[in-house]
């Protein structure tokens, strides 16, 4: 499985109402320094929303790059509709971070 395929496979497992950070996803695929590469994968995701790239956020919970609809506004609306908790403009990672049990 290629790096991109592995990233998309893991991203597909993020449940509604939960998010991961770019760095967290990089660690999950065994490349802890590849957060920027994860961003490139999300940016070129050919299978959104099947691969829910909107559920990947910055390390501090900020919403970054989203090309669908109205960009960040659309990403925020999608996450809120799925039950993700916010603290101001950022995702409340203490309540909404996905911690897979594997």
Residue 102 lies in a domain: no
CATH number at residue 58: 1.10.10.10
Contact 79, 19 (CB under 8 A): yes
pTM score of the predicted model: 0.93
Burial string for 90-100 (b: 16+ CB within 10 Å, else e) reads ebebeebbbee
Owning domain of residue 32:
3-94
Please give the tally of structural domains in the chain.
1
Residues of the chain with pLDDT under 50: none
Active-site position among 20, 25, 34, 53: 53
Task: Say what the pLDDT of residue 67 is.
Answer: 73
Q: How many Cβ atoms are within 10 Å of 70's Cβ, its own excluded?
A: 10
Residue 74 lies in a domain: yes
Q: Is 53 a catalytic residue?
A: yes
Q: Each residue of 29-44: pLDDT tens digit?
A: 999 999 999 999 999 9
């Amino acid at each position: 499985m290629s790096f991109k395929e592995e990233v998309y496979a893991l991203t597909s497992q993020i449940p509604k109402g939960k998010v991961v950070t770019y760095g967290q996803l990089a660690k999950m695929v065994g490349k802890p320094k590849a957060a920027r590469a994860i961003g490139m994968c999300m940016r070129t995701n050919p299978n959104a929303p099947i691969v829910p790239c909107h559920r990947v956020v910055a390390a501090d919970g900020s919403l970054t790059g989203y090309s669908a609809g109205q960009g960040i506004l659309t990403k925020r609306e999608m996450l809120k509709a799925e039950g993700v908790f916010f603290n101001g403009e950022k995702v409340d990672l203490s309540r909404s971070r996905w911690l897979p049990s594997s």
